[in-house]
Amino acid sequence: MRRKKFYSEIIKKYLEGKTNNTILVLGAGSLDRDVMDKYSNIFFTNINEQSNQKIKSNIAMQNLPYKDSSYDYVITHASIHHCSKPHSAVLEMLRVSKFGIIFIESHDCFLTRLSCWLGFSEIYEYSAVKNNKYGGVDNTNTPNFVYRWTENEVLKLINSYKPLNKYKIYFDYDYDFKFLNNYFINFLLSFFFYFFKKQKNLMSVYIKKI
């Protein structure tokens, strides 16, 4: 699974040697547990456990019930786009973290928009609530808008939040398109991404407090 590989690589890149740090993973599921299995001091909040359709905890990411700097790191993967206030969710992650945050979400780029226009990607995530009573916006049965990020949007958001604080922001990219089972298209995209890596539809953001 390409997405899992990307997720694992990001965690290794930025959290190597930090297995004993306190880590909060928001909106976690089986993928998060698999990727974070080497970390001992880790805490999961689980908005929607797809493997057994059981809600363990329903925590609003835009209003986390934790004190400032409660955890060394806060991480989330593919959860912010389910939030009705995605910018607030990122800022809450920063508030709760002591050293930094990592989030992986969809990248707002030309190929992503083209994929939506061609019907390969969803604008509203109807698949998230299909046959479910939850899984949409703020874990309701309303299909959520798939909020996709640009680098500039992240920079403006973070620079606006507590301007006296200092941060380093790192971006990484990968792709996970549904139509990549076609060998010819996969070959063309691989060639294209060799020159235009920022057109990949997955973006990881690591915001380090300094």
For 143-195, give the DSSP string: PPB---B-HHHHHHHHHHSSTTS-EEEEEEEE---TTTTSHHHHHHHHHHHHH
Average pLDDT, the chain: 88
- Among candidates 75, 148, 73, 58, which has minimal Cα distance to 110? 148
Q: What is the CATH number of the domain that holds 7?
A: 3.40.50.150
Q: How confident is the model at residue 180 (pLDDT cuts 50, 70, 90)?
A: low
Dist. CA 10–CA 26, nearest whole Å: 16
Give the dihedral of Cα atoms 34, 146, 171, 67; nearest 10 deg: -70
In a domain, 121, yes or no: no
Segments forming the whole domain that contains residue 77: 2-108+147-178+202-209
Q: What is the pLDDT of residues 111-128, one digit of tens each?
A: 899 889 988 899 999 998
In the chain, the N- to C-terminal Cα span, in Å, equals 34
Dist. CA 166–CA 148, nearest whole Å: 25
In a domain, 53, yes or no: yes
3-state secondary structure of 116: helix
Is pLDDT above 80 for 155? yes
Put simply, whether the predicted model's pTM sits higher than 0.85 gets the answer: yes
Q: How far is CA 210 from the centre of its chain?
A: 22
| Residue 210 CB-half CA count within 13 A | 7
Dist. CA 30–CA 104, nearest whole Å: 16
Dist. CA 151–CA 203, nearest whole Å: 9
Which contiguous run of DSSP H or E holds residue 209? strand 202-209
- Among candidates 66, 46, 49, 43, which has minimal Cα distance to 58? 46
Is pLDDT above 60 for 53? no
In a domain, 151, yes or no: yes
Among the residue ranges 6-15, 99-108, 117-126, the one predicted with the least confidence is 117-126
Q: How many domains does the chain have?
A: 1
- Among candidates 28, 30, 107, which has minimal Cα distance to 61? 28
Mean pLDDT, range 46-63, rounded to an integer: 59
Is pLDDT above 60 for 6? yes
